[in-house]
A = this chain, B = another copy of it.
Amino acid sequence: MKKVLIVFAHPEPTSLNHQLVETAVHVLQQDGHEVLLSDLYSMGWKAVFDEQDFPLRAHPQRLSFIEESGHSYAVGRQAPDIAAEQQKVLAADALILQFPLWWFGMPAILKGWIDRVWARGLAYGYEGAGNRYRYGDGAFKGKRALVSVTVGGPAVDYSPRGINGPLEQLLFPITHGTLFYPGMDVLPVHAVYGAAQLSAQGAEVAKAQWAARLERIFDDTPTPFRRQNGGDYPDGHVLAPDIASGRSGLLAHVADQGALAPMKPAGT
């Protein structure tokens, strides 16, 4: 029995996103797992990271988010809603982020969950050691993460030469920069394309495909992002000359070059 935290961001109870969450709860519970939910809209989640989040300031005169986040976390004086979500993440064996793709990223309410919950000392600056533990190491090491998005447009726009760019590359700031950064094993993105025009039958197909992904959430091979401390970055900053030789950019940070190619589209 494992614990899975699902964080999701859509207010409409009959939306495809809610249906996918219901599918996930059902499948995971049937497999004997415990499901934790953070329904950000119904919780009235505070999206904006601001001075109210630091009840006991290290420096009352001048607000530095980095310093106050680290101080609040270290002394255990965080906003209660932030601390509660951190406890859920720490308790979970896997994290699922479920959201509609808005302007090629997360809805603000979910970005604000990351901004606020991913505290210094926890998700970055782990162990007070600066950048020593990141990208494969950190407080969330050993947990799995899965990004599941509904996409209004057609899959072809996200194909290798499609006009939007490949979805896995557009979401690199989330998969690599936000989830792998504090140590999670990140699974390939799951997407339902054409969600704006999905028929009732299409929704059933999408839910069946999603259920199949969930069955394998603890078995599937994570995206092989290169670990900072695995030898590929001798100085902790730049790839060694013999690693991904002659290549640069986002894809150089994946050991298997094909891993960030667009997924086989689901739901179109």
The interface of chain A, by Cβ under 8 A from chain B, is 11-12, 14-15, 41, 45, 47-51, 62-66, 100, 102-109, 111-112, 114-115, 118, 131, 135, 152-154, 156-157, 159-166, 169-170, 172-174, 176-178, 196, 228, 233, 236-239, 244, 247-253
Contacts and interface: CB of A to CB of B under 8 A. Distances in A.
| Number of this chain's copies in the complex | 2
A102 to B, nearest CB: 5
A49 B108 contact: yes
B249 A157 contact: no
B51 A249 contact: no
Most buried by B among A65, A118, A170, A244: A65
Contact of A103 (B178, B239, B250): B178
Give me the 8 closest cross-chain CB pairs, A-B, nearest first.
A108-B112, A104-B173, A160-B248, A104-B177, A12-B63, A47-B47, A108-B111, A161-B239
Contacts of A15: 63-64
Nearest to A45: B48
A163 B111 contact: no
A11 B51 contact: yes
A108 B12 contact: no
Contacts of A153: 131
A154 to B, nearest CB: 7
Given A108-B112, A152-B66, A172 B163 contact: no
Contacts of A165: 172, 176-177, 249-250, 253
A163 B237 contact: yes
Nearest to A113: B108
A100 B249 CA distance: 22
Contacts of A64: 12, 15
B156 A238 contact: yes
Contacts of A115: 102-103, 107-108
A253 B118 contact: no
Nearest to A11: B50
Most buried by B among A173, A176, A177, A178: A173
Contacts of A45: 48
B160 A249 contact: yes
